[in-house]
Structure formats: C-alpha cells, structure tokens
A = this chain, B = another copy of it.
C-alpha cells in the first residue's frame, strides 16, 4: 500500500501519458498521487500546471499531509487536500483524478440527483471486491467548487455515508477514484471511464 518514491513517480508518469492519450487528461487537467509512507503520511503527487501529455517522473513531487513540498520543484496541485482526505478515509494507496468528455457530460446530467447508479455490467467486476455484474455501484456526484476546504468536508461526509463507493465525481469536472496501489487505481479509472462512455452514449440517445 506504499512504496519507493522513484517507482511511484514512474508509475504516475506512465498513467498520465496513458490517460492523456485517451483524452482523459488533456491540457494540464487532472492529478495523480500515490502513498510513499503512511506514518508520517507522504504522497507522490503530480506537480501543478504541468502538461499531462509530457509529464516526466521529475515532475512528480513528494508532499506531506499539509501539501508542503518535501522533494521536487514547483507547487503541489491545489487539489492535494482532496487526495489526502481520500487516502485517509479509504486507506487508499493511490488516488487518481481524470477529466474526460463523457465524465463531464455525465456528471453534469446527474448533478441534481447527487449521483448515478452503475449496474448490470460485467465490467463492474474490475472494481476491487466486486464479484458479479449484478453489483449496484452508486457513484456520488458533488457540486463543483473552487473552495477546496469546503470540498474536503463534502468529500469526507460523502465517503462516510457511502462506504462502498469506488469513486466519486465533481459535476462538470471529472472523476476521483482510488485503489490499494497505483495499478488498482489505474484499473478503476479504466473501468469507470469505460462505463461513463457507455452510459453517456445511452443518455444522449435518450435511453439513459
């Protein structure tokens, strides 16, 4: 659930390149983290304002739980506090945040309802602990805001109320998901983004 900084930085840079290629992290959007140590809490996290299509391991920073940079140059992402909160609440080893076209459309459409249900898809079995396509995944959608302090509290409350959720969305913004380690978190991104495309296409066809 934690690991060598250099290995984690490389894994995050690989994921950034892969997500950028799929259009899930265009421009400087999104941010990726992994736990270096738990006590004290140290995260490897992508630097703020970096082009995700050209992110190198040297642009991954090590930060403490307050977002203070301990290794590397530049500023940590403004959303570092959200990553820290998810690591704490879920015991996650990695937190990944993507911005996709379908995630944007779907989160906007389900913002009023506060979330959406994903159910009946074999692909759900790619989520940790899920054993059947009959699984019912409730994915919370929170309103977007630039007030990260308030958002951390919102996310904390949501994670408490929805202990089974494998991810959450911010409306018009994108997906946060996590996993035991960087590989599991990456798998969760692929699973959930796949299902966003399925559901987004159905929604726009009036079948969702």
A residues near B, CB below 8 A?
18, 22-23, 26-29, 51, 53, 99, 101, 104-105, 108, 120-123, 126, 131-134, 144, 146, 170, 172-174, 183, 186-188, 190-191, 193-194, 197-198, 201-202, 204-207
Contact = CB atoms under 8 A, between A and B. Distances in A.
B23 A105 contact: no
Contacts of A194: 23, 26-27, 99, 101
B172 A121 contact: yes
B144 A122 contact: yes
A131 B146 contact: yes
B105 A123 contact: no
B146 A123 contact: no
A23 B24 CA distance: 13
Given A29-B191, A122-B172, 18 more contacts: A18-B53, A23-B194, A26-B126, A27-B190, A27-B194, A28-B126, A29-B122, A29-B126, A99-B122, A101-B198, A101-B201, A104-B121, A104-B198, A105-B202, A121-B173, A122-B170, A201-B204, A204-B204
A186 to B, nearest CB: 7
Contacts of A131: 146
A34 B26 CA distance: 21
Q: Which of A105, A132, A206 has the most CB of B within 10 A?
A: A105
A27 B205 CA distance: 26
Contacts of A132: 146
A120 B172 CA distance: 7
A202 B27 CA distance: 21
B144 A133 contact: yes
Nearest to A108: B120
